[in-house]
Amino acid sequence: MNEDTPIRRQLFSIPNLMGYFRIILIPFIVWRYVTAETINDYYAAAVIIGISGITDFLDGFVARKFHMITKVGKALDPIADKLTQGAIVLALSFRFRWMIPLIILFIVKEGFMAIMGIVMLRRGKMLDGAKWFGKVCTAVLYVVMFILILFPQIPMGAANGMIALCGVLMLFSFVSYIPVFWKMAHDS
């Protein structure tokens, strides 16, 4: 299977089915966290996020290992990632008020990435995967979100420090992508 495989077959490839599964998990993550009353409820939310993360790793691994990389998968994977991240950040904002500025920055950054991705696609160009700064930002964001969910009794100062770190890395990633898109737009 490859990018030239008919869309119908691409839709139901194993890696893409894992991507759909990750999207289906989103409401369960949010519901379990927002309605949590006991430590076990928070642990359950963390387990669901862990399952989502493992599935995220596996879909990419399977796609590469078994030559199942598809156009659908290239679009689906980042969509599943961003929906999951956005939903978790939103859920955490119910408990940690400093998540609200992070939500705004997340929306601005991802909105910019989506708009520029569409503009470049219309010009026949495509970003060749996430850059290192985007990967670092995403990894730290996931670790922080996981810690904040797994340890609901974390001191607010520590939580705010981790949220601030995410904000700084997200801003750095956002600013670092601007010249990448600028170069893409001006290369022939």
pLDDT tens digit at each of 188 positions of the chain: 666 777 777 788 999 999 999 999 999 999 999 999 999 999 999 999 999 989 998 998 999 999 888 888 888 998 999 999 999 999 999 999 999 999 999 999 999 999 998 999 899 888 877 899 998 998 899 899 999 999 999 999 999 999 999 999 999 999 999 999 999 989 86
pLDDT at site 188 = 65
Scanning the structure block, which residue is given the tokens 């290992």? 65
CA separation for the pair 103, 109 (Å, rounded): 10
| Domain residue ranges in the chain | 1-92, 98-188
- Which segments of the chain does DSSP mark as H helices, in order? 7-11, 14-34, 39-65, 71-92, 99-122, 132-150, 156-186
For tokens 């119908």, name the residue.
8
Amino acid, single-letter form, for residue 148: L
- N residues, the chain: 188
CATH superfamily of the domain spanning 1-92? CDP-alcohol phosphotransferase transmembrane (TM) domain (1.20.120.1760)
Rounded to 5°, the CA angle 137-150-160 comes to 55
The torsion angles phi and psi of 118, rounded to 5 degrees, stand at: -65, -45
What long-range pairs does 37-43 form, CB within 8 A, spacing at least 24? Answer: 39/152, 42/149, 42/150, 42/152, 43/150
